Chains A and B, each alone.
Chain A
Amino acid sequence: MRRTDEELYRLMKSGDRAAFAELYERREPALYRYALHTSGSATVAEEVASEVFVQLMSSGSRFDEQRGTLESYLYGVARNLVRMARRQGPVEEAVDSAFEHDIVGDLIDSEMTAALHRALQTMPERYRDVVIFCDLEELSYEEVARLLGRPIGTVRSRLHRGRALLSGIMKRMNVSAMAAQG
């Protein structure tokens, strides 16, 4: 039977190495992707995904089951770490170089898609998170609502608003690209 994140966390806190490893395997990939989409840097994403677990295992971990799920807490920590990384470095430069060289390389060869990824990082956090969870992580509205602690209606409206912002950015880029070609 699959143990919940919270059960694994409790075991981990009692020194259960296997529980920590299981929690890491289960949550680290999604946390990495989240940090990647929000920071645009694979290097930052790796650091963030790792640091989340360092903080989790530390005695100063402030996770409280009464206040929400562990998954939600982990994303919260990741979000804060990305914010700190943004404040510390020249984000724009890091985003461009990281995205084009570290992350996707040949996998995203479309300039438009690369631009979309950059646009994702610049949009307001409340819209970006919903787009990432719904359309990149493919979570249901209910799951995202639980993760963010918001009503489903709010999640849905934020997603629509976020996607509208992205399409607006892409439209402007299309115009620019056409102008550059002309």
Chain B
Amino acid sequence: MKQEICKSYSVELMERARLAIAPDGAFERHLTSCKPCQERWEAQTQVTAGLRSIRFAATDRASSAERRDRLMRQFDQQYPAAPIVIRRQPSRVRAWAWGLAAAAALLIAAGTLVPLRSHFRGHLPAAIAGAVSTVQPVAFNGAFESSDARNLTADDFVAVPYAPPLASGEMIRIVQADLDPQALATLGFDPDPAWTGNLSAEVVVGQDGYPRAVRISDNTQF
């Protein structure tokens, strides 16, 4: 009967002893009346005290920085750092700027090329072509050895700016045309604001149809 009672207190005895909870109530009364349980209690509290001393002693340890550093070096060898790659997030501002620049470039190109093409494609600018009265193909002879149309100015021709150079032996035509001041301006003339109406002019046109030089043949307005 007594053994049964002791057994019923065994778990409580152990738990109280390890958690250092003082006996009370029925358990305390049992301890005072049961010598074996009292001895077990004392032994267990002694174990608790001993383990506590060991715990305190073991935690009083300075971790080795040297050992840690060695491990970190080993880690660095095991996992060598990958080359640093700077990943740029796609920038909206950057994309927007590029888009704007591209659009501006397109507009500039269109603004420059389309008028030129409209002037020169079909061999003559519309303003000139509409006014052509005479077309006289003439061989580009030795008088213009240079392919530079500016050489034509010897005969009062004014070179058309940015026109492609004439090749030696290239067939040219001199086109008679009535040009308004605006068309003359596109061909490199600096029209006098006093000019009104169309002026008769001779336009040197290359084999490719592009005008190379212009000469005013109508002097009535000078």
Which stretch in A68-76, A80-88, A102-110, A142-150 binds the other chain? Answer: A102-110
Q: Which residue of A lies closest to B78 (CB)?
A: A57
Q: How far is the CA of A135 from the CA of B20 in the complex (A)?
A: 12
What bracket does the count of chain A residues touching chain B fall in?
35 or more
Residues of chain B from 13 to 54 with CB closer than 8 A to chain A in the complex: 14, 17-18, 40, 43-44, 46-48, 50-51, 53-54
Q: How far is the CA of A15 from the CA of B44 in the complex (A)?
A: 48
What bracket does the count of chain B residues touching chain A fall in?
35 or more
Contacts of A53 in B (CB 8 A): 71
Contacts of B75 in A (CB 8 A): 17, 20, 57
Q: Does B76 contact A (CB under 8 A)?
A: yes
Number of A-B contacts (CB under 8 A): 97
Q: How far is the CA of A101 from the CA of B47 in the complex (A)?
A: 22
Contact of A28 among B58, B63, B70, B74 (CB under 8 A): B63
Q: How far is the CA of A108 from the CA of B72 in the complex (A)?
A: 33
Q: Does A10 contact B (CB under 8 A)?
A: no
The chain B residues found within 8 Å of chain A, CB to CB, are 10-11, 14, 17-18, 40, 43-44, 46-48, 50-51, 53-61, 63-64, 67-68, 70-72, 74-76, 78-79, 81-82
The chain A residues found within 8 Å of chain B, CB to CB, are 15, 17, 20-21, 24, 28-29, 32-33, 36-37, 42, 46, 50, 53-54, 57-59, 103-104, 107-108, 110, 112-113, 116-117, 120, 131, 134-136, 138, 159-160, 163, 166-167, 170-171
Given contacts A28-B68, A163-B14, A166-B50, 5 further A-B contacts (CB under 8 A): A36-B58, A107-B53, A116-B47, A166-B47, A167-B44
Q: What are 17 A-B contacts defined by CB distance under 8 Å?
A: A15-B79, A15-B82, A17-B72, A28-B63, A33-B59, A42-B61, A54-B71, A57-B75, A112-B46, A112-B50, A113-B53, A136-B54, A138-B55, A163-B17, A163-B18, A163-B47, A167-B44
